[in-house]
């Protein structure tokens, strides 16, 4: 099946990306970054033309995992190897095919030419796809030191740092990061901003430290947002069982299993490619 795209909207998106890249590259050049090339208006227009030809009218008209997708992008990179978005588009299908080592070669190039735009994305890939958690933490922390605690794929850098600590069994560190992130979001955005997945993993960090009451408090907040979230129900049931509330635990576990089989599980976009930490298998 061919990729369908609106060429006008796509071209506008490319123009926006290039303007952001230009701003960042000019800033990097002023700081003495040797990999940053200063873009003038002619450079921007030339790069827009390359992406229009080789992405909008090239790769995006092909099947995502095809050789043709890669070949179109390679032709664009042959004309200008400093276009970060071309490198990201070359890497992205490979990650979705679990070709992590190969994809990382290309996303490293995207980060080289536009770190502000792509470094947090690379760190996200390390956390959720490649599962190189120590590297993910280092990449996110470096990004934060330069640009602050931004958001990537709907979650903050600190969310992924906490998740990485969970996967390294450093539960106290994970809880500390989740707590800091939780308080920062409450302060800046309010309670309506809270995400059920953030609350789930924050609760897991307490569950793993046998703070069952504390975990239940967070699981209840997650269920207030996503009432049928099966993993939360199952892990809350585990906490209830540990506290001796056996009948409640058994009833909630049974409900969680029903909801899990209905597909009420972690609903991140990337879950179709990768199983998330603590996600249960229902089939």
Whether 18 maps to a domain, the answer reads yes
Percentages helix, strand, coil for the chain (3-state, rounded to 5) are 75, 0, 25
Whether 133 maps to a domain, the answer reads no
pLDDT per residue of the chain (283 residues) written in tens, 0 to 9: 334 344 444 445 554 555 444 444 444 433 334 344 567 889 999 999 999 999 999 999 999 999 999 999 999 999 999 999 999 999 999 999 999 999 999 999 999 999 999 999 999 999 999 999 999 999 999 999 999 999 999 999 999 999 999 999 999 999 999 999 999 999 988 998 899 999 999 999 999 999 999 999 999 999 999 999 999 999 999 999 999 999 999 999 999 999 999 999 999 999 999 999 999 998 7
Q: What angle do CA 16, 19, 20 make, to 5 degrees?
A: 90
- Our count of domains for the chain comes to 2
Whole-model pTM?
Answer: 0.86
> What b-and-e string marks burial along 233-265, b requiring 16 or more CB atoms within 10 Å of the CB?
bbbbbbbbbeeeeeeebeebbeebbebbeeebb
What would the two tokens of residue 275 be?
A: 């199983």
Q: Among 71, 92, 113, where does a domain finish?
A: 113
Whether 63 maps to a domain, the answer reads yes
Q: Among 53, 84, 113, where does a domain finish?
A: 113
Q: Among 113, 134, 151, where does a domain finish?
A: 113
Q: Are residues 200 and 106 in the same domain?
A: no
CATH code assigned at 265 = 1.25.40.10
Whether 238 maps to a domain, the answer reads yes
Whether 130 maps to a domain, the answer reads no
Report how far residue 223's alpha carbon sits from residue 268's, in angstroms, rounded to the nearest whole number: 16
Whether 107 maps to a domain, the answer reads yes
Q: Are residues 100 and 199 in the same domain?
A: no
Q: Find all residues with CB under 8 Å of 240, minimum gap 6, and list them.
A: 212, 216, 246, 248, 249, 252
- The residues that bridge with 151 in the sheet, in sequence order, are 156
Among residues 35, 137, 50, the alpha carbon closest in space to that of 85 is found at 50
- The terminus-to-terminus CA distance of the chain in angstroms comes to 28
Q: Are residues 6 and 109 in the same domain?
A: yes
Report how far residue 13's alpha carbon sits from residue 11's, in angstroms, rounded to the nearest whole number: 5
Q: Find all residues with CB under 8 Å of 103, minimum gap 6, and list them.
A: 91, 92, 94, 95, 125
Whether 183 maps to a domain, the answer reads no
Domain range spanning residue 30? 1-113
Whether 43 maps to a domain, the answer reads yes
Helices and strands (DSSP H and E) totals, the chain: 13, 2
- The residues that bridge with 155 in the sheet, in sequence order, are 152
């Amino acid at each position: 099946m061919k990729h369908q795209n609106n060429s006008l909207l796509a071209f506008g998106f490319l123009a926006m990306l290039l303007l952001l890249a230009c701003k960042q590259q000019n800033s990097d050049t002023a700081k003495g970054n040797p990999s940053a090339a200063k873009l003038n208006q002619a450079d921007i227009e030339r790069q827009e033309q390359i992406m229009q030809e080789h992405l909008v009218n090239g790769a995006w008209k092909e099947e995502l995992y095809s050789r043709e997708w890669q070949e179109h992008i390679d032709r664009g990179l042959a004309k200008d190897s400093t276009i970060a978005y071309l490198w990201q588009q070359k890497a992205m299908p490979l990650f979705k095919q679990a070709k992590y080592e190969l994809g990382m070669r290309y996303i490293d190039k995207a980060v080289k030419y536009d770190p502000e735009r792509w470094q947090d994305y690379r760190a996200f890939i390390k956390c959720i796809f490649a599962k190189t958690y120590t590297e993910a933490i280092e990449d996110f922390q470096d990004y934060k030191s330069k640009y602050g605690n931004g958001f990537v794929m709907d979650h903050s850098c600190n969310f992924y740092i906490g998740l990485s600590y969970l996967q390294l069994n450093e539960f106290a560190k994970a809880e500390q990061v989740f707590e800091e992130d939780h308080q920062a979001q409450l302060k800046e955005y309010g309670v309506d901003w809270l995400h059920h997945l953030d609350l789930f993993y924050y609760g897991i960090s307490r569950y793993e430290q046998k703070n069952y009451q504390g975990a239940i408090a967070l699981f209840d907040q997650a269920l207030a947002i996503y009432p049928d979230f099966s993993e939360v129900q199952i892990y809350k049931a585990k906490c209830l069982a540990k506290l001796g509330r056996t009948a409640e635990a058994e009833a909630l576990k049974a409900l969680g299993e029903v909801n899990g089989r209905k597909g009420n599980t972690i609903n991140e976009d990337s879950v179709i490619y990768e199983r998330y930490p603590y996600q249960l298998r229902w089939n």
